[in-house]
Amino acid sequence: MKPLISVVMAAKNYARFLPTAVDSVFAQTIADWELVIIDDGSTDETPAAVRPYLRDPRVRYVRSDRLGQSRAKNLGERLSRGGFIAYLDADDAWLPTKLEKQLAVFAEHPECGVVFTARELIDDAGRTIAPNVQQMTTAFPRGHVFEQIFLKNFVCFSSAMVKKQVFDRVGGFDPNLDLAIDYDLWLRVARHYDFHGLAEPLTRYRTGHGNLSGKLIDRVRTAEAIMNRAIARNPNALCSETIGEGYASTFRAAAFTLRRKETRQSLRWSLRAILAGGKRREALRGLLGTLVRRKHEVSTGENAAYNR
């Protein structure tokens, strides 16, 4: 008998987090699910961490050989038998009513292709850092969200539940991408299906343990390429102001993140944000802030050298 929901979890070297993620699936108030775990070539204790859960016939474990996250998630989707697919990264977790509340939204809004939730941030040890205040206090874009999601990917991946039929229409994750794969998928989905967000933080998103800062430039360049492709595929769907702000907001975020450690890189991204258009005042403010910081650091360094 086919399950109602297929939970897809792609895991690689997250043995220390995986039990928390899996336990949160078992704790759901909806029991009609299967869990498909794709182990993408882990070299840690992931197989041992999964083993106790295999006593439950709802859990399937597939060992792959370094497919990469796009192909691993696509494999999980192909193996899924449920009418809905819920994604959960192995380092994140859910609150117990998450699946139940998402199914209720699908029942009320059958035109939806994706239902997602707000998130709370947790640290490496699983302690709550802070809820995502913006997502809790600001209404999520709902309905046709292509323009809004072009400006910002507001869907927390581990919070998303997707109708299986969506993949039949738009395809899966792009196997040529290794970063921002969900942003690319959501842009394709948003051209055909409505989105609906729950403001309640039903997803626990772990942060601070990865090397995202080291991949920042690659992520920004990948996002830029994804936006280029979205515009080419949908030439009349976005106005010039939205396109300009989409690029500018991405470049501003890079400049802000790099302002402390990579001042020159930060200035370059601020200049690109100004040239892209959009909210130029914000980009100028960031540029000036970085210049002031750099001047202060240079001055401080010179004084320190002089007084040594």
57-105: pLDDT as tens digits:
999 999 988 899 999 999 999 999 999 999 999 999 999 999 999 999 9
Is pTM beyond 0.85? Reply is yes
Q: For the chain, what are the domain ranges?
A: 5-206, 239-307
Q: What are phi and psi of 56, to 5 degrees?
A: -90, 125
Can you tell me whether residue 197 is helix, strand or coil? strand
Q: b/e string for 257-284 if b means 16 or more Cβ within 10 A? A: bbbeebbebbbebbebbbebbbebebbe
Place 283 in a pLDDT band, splitting at 50, 70 and 90.
very low
Displacement of CA 290 from its chain's centroid (Å): 28
Place 298 in a pLDDT band, splitting at 50, 70 and 90.
very low
Exposure on the CB side of residue 150, measured as CA atoms within 13 A: 26
Smallest CA-to-CA distance from 220 within 244, 246, 243 is with 246
Please state the length of the chain: 308
**Cα angle 68-70-73, degrees, rounded to a multiple of 5:** 100
DSSP state of 17: T
- Please, what is the average pLDDT of the chain? 87
The better pLDDT of the pair 115, 140 is held by 115
| Rounded average pLDDT over 270-286 | 70
Q: Rounded CA gap, 270 and 259, in Å? A: 10
Note the CATH number of domain 5-206. Answer: 3.90.550.10
Element holding 162 (H helix, E strand): strand 161-163
Q: Which residues have a Cβ under 8 Å from the Cβ of 222 and sit 6 or more positions away?
A: 177, 178, 179, 180
Displacement of CA 129 from its chain's centroid (Å): 18
